[in-house]
Amino acid sequence: MMDEASQTEWIDSFDKLLNIRPQLRELNIIKNAVRVSFNIDSSVETSIKAIEIKDSSKAQQNYFDSADCSRKTYDQNNLISTPCTKRLASELFNCRLSPITGIKLEGFEFNTTKKKKEMESEVKNKIRFEILPYNVGRDIHEINISCEKSIVLLPPFALQPGKWRKSLNSLRTSRLIEPTINKWGTIKARQSRSQVNGRMSVRLTDLNEIDCDHQQEVLKHCDQFKPLSFHATYPSTRMTNPVKVGEGAYGEVFRCTNSSNNNSEHNVDIVLKIIPIEGSIEINGEKQKTFAEILPEIIITKKMSSLQANAINSTAGFVNIHKTTLVSGKYPQHLVKLWEQYDAKNNSENEHPRVFGDKQLFLVLELEFAGNDMSNFTFTNAAQSYFMLQQIILTLAIGEEECQFEHRDLHWGNVLIKDTDKKDIYFKFKNKDLTLPSKGVKISIIDYTLSRITIGQSCYFNDLSSDEDLFSATGDYQYDIYRMMRNELKNNWASFSPKTNILWLSYLVAKLINGVKYKYVNTKIHKQHIEMLKELQKNMLSFDSAARCANNMLKLT
Ligand SMILES: Nc1ncnc2c1ncn2[C@@H]1O[C@H](COP(=O)(O)OP(=O)(O)OP(=O)(O)O)[C@@H](O)[C@H]1O
């Protein structure tokens, strides 16, 4: 089994998670033979799951027992991991619950007082092989897998709070394969993919996919007839004080002052979110978005941004977009340099832009610079955060009222906050003018990848109904919210249920009480507002929409 790969490639898959991202991406999904890891650590949950089914007539079953599966002998001296039988017989794993995730481990319920031999045979019989119903992969790599024994689990795993997409991709990649069975009953390995590209657009009337030329639609939104040259459109001379400020699974974000008209009084602080599209190479563990997949992103961002000037319902709480541009060509050298500077300082998780060829297409979203995200922001005190939360509530309420908007991924990385010297923030809710004290901050909501919205006869949403991975994640209250949303929506992601906004608000209040940074915590005003936040937290889940919550909070009739 070991001759296809060098020893270093057999590092435990859990350990690989600790390695830097480029190596994670090169995990051995197309190797000819795979080791099953059975170390006495969490690797039982992250290691390769592979079996060989002897009887092809059983191939359609969901469960197999060990008798159905072939057992190939292997040279144990070549293996790094402890073989299954040896480990199971030890007392070191005397637990049916994983020490890491608490998942129930089938077959580990033996009693340590039993004799070693009895235990081994009991365990052999009890181990259950589960074939998971994955159907998301686009690339299928056929591999020959053989192993003594393995367990296929869909483990809950801990993710860091905040941005989860890249971590989830890394975990998916590190799991390497999920077995599927072809018509001859042999195993094929599928490389799992993110589901978040599964953006759906449906007409509400007939639920058919919108029939349009997506490339033309994107060009229309960009006011272009064809893609422009990347380096000619964004030369270094057009970008004053440029710096890379952030990155996501889909793009790089650079901040600069837009000095195109050479009038320093009219300089605007903008960010460029640069998203590669339509290319065949994978970026940051994801397939590149297509025109069809990027189009809803543009439409939703523009729609939400336009609410700042809307007649009946208006808010500047959704990030302001100036323009979108479709460019093609090699990544400009001055942006590559900024990318490298960011990487040197922050250890980027994204791929170096050198991977892009000279025909690569990029969609560039020019957004207003909206500050730091909530997880990196230091509030003066809880009075400031309390009123900041009111801005979020009212903004969501206006989104619901205007276009049945649900954000569906409003973790603290997607709320940006910047200082303002304006005393008040203005809103219009159901044609009523409302003013909130800014307390020195203004919020902007970003990232509509999972959002749901109705515009005219069309509804845009992301169908997460089969993204088991996201619903298995743990590590923060944030990951409970995805499960709570699924319950609330009864897994029908097209439907409008503003309660999902309430779920995210309940998460945000929790973060404000116990999570964000405060400068002055020993003041009376801080303590008072922490109590007010706690009171709000008690009541939050009793509302069924942000609109109801806003009505109650602002005593609107
Ligand atoms: N308008 C903005 N102003 C300031 N910073 C921004 C702005 N938009 C994005 N950023 C920064 O860039 C980061 C990535 O942006 P964004 O969340 O839009 O990317 P993404 O690719 O959609 O991320 P994800 O991995 O969640 O898919 C944000 O976390 C934020 O730090």
Q: List pLDDT tens digits, range 67-121.
A: 444 333 333 333 222 223 223 333 333 333 333 333 333 333 333 444 445 544 4
CB atoms within 10 A of CB 41: 17
Q: What is the mean pLDDT of residues 154-182?
A: 63
Pairwise CA distance, residues 34 & 19, whole Å? 20
Decide which of 126 and 353 is more confident.
Answer: 353
Q: Is 373 in the pocket of ligand 1 (CB under 6 A)?
A: yes
370 lines ligand 1 (CB under 6 A): yes
Average pLDDT over residues 231-254: 93
State in Å: Cα 445 to ligand 1 middle: 10
Query: And the tokens for 464?
Result: 């997460």
- Encoded tokens for 186: 């042999």
Position 268 confidence tier, pLDDT thresholds 50, 70, 90: confident
Q: Is the CB of 253 under 6 A from ligand 1?
A: yes
Cβ atoms 337, 238 nearer than 8 A: no
Please tell me what DSSP assigns to residue 195.
S
295 vs 125, residue with greater confidence: 295
User: CB under 8 Å to 26, separation ≥6 — which residues?
Assistant: none
pLDDT for the residue numbered 376 = 95
Which has more confidence, 180 or 551?
551
> Which CATH code of 3.30.200.20, 3.40.50.620, 3.50.50.60, 3.40.50.1000 fits the domain covering 198-307+319-369?
3.30.200.20
Would you call 269 a catalytic residue per the annotation? no
70: Cα within 13 Å, side-chain hemisphere: 14
CA 112 / ligand 1 centre spacing (Å): 51
pLDDT band of 179, cuts 50, 70, 90: very low
Residue 266 banded pLDDT, cuts 50, 70, 90: low
Query: Quick one: pLDDT at residue 186?
Result: 38
CA–CA gap between residue 247 and residue 251 (Å, rounded) = 6
Quick one: DSSP state of residue 82?
P
Q: Looking at 409, 447, 467, 476, which residue is catalytic?
A: 409
Ligand 1 lined by 498 (C-beta under 6 Å): no
pLDDT at 168 (0 to 100): 74
Distance CA 392, CA 398 (A): 10
Is residue 200 over pLDDT 90?
no
Highest mean pLDDT among 38-52, 341-355, 455-469: 341-355
User: Token digits for 262?
Assistant: 């050479």
Measure the CA–CA gap between 319 and 445, rounded to whole angstroms: 6
Most confident residue range from 192-206, 286-300, 439-453: 439-453
Long-range contacts of 200-204 (CB under 8 A, 24+ apart): 200/460, 200/461, 200/462, 200/463, 200/493, 200/494, 201/295, 201/296, 201/458, 201/459, 201/460, 202/458, 202/459, 202/461, 202/494, 203/457, 203/458, 203/459, 204/454, 204/457, 204/458, 204/459
Average pLDDT over residues 9-38: 39
Q: Which of 446, 448, 464 to mutate to test the pocket of ligand 1 (most atoms within 8 A of CB)?
A: 446
Rounded Cα–Cα distance for residues 108 and 95 (Å) = 6
Cβ of 416 below 6 Å from ligand 1:
yes
The per-residue pLDDT for 22 is 46
| CATH 1.10.510.10 domain extents, the chain | 372-557
Nearest CA to ligand 1 atom 21: 248
Query: Picking from 4-13, 276-285, 463-472, which range would have the lowest pLDDT averaged per residue?
Result: 4-13
Helix 524-540 to helix 499-513 angle (10° resolution) is 150
Comma-separated ranges of CATH 3.30.200.20 domains in the chain: 198-307+319-369
Q: Band of the pLDDT at 424, cuts 50, 70, 90?
A: very high
Closest CA to 461 of 398, 396, 406: 406
Structure tokens at 41: 């650590």
372-557 under CATH 3.60.9.10, yes or no:
no
Tokens of 85: 């039988």
In this prediction, the answer to ipTM > 0.90 reads yes
Q: Is the pTM of this model over 0.90?
A: no
At 418, is the secondary structure helix, strand, or coil? strand
Spatial separation of the C-alpha atoms in residues 384 and 397, rounded to whole Å: 20
The pLDDT of residue 123 is 36
Q: What pLDDT is recorded for position 263? A: 56
| pLDDT higher than 60, residue 144 | no
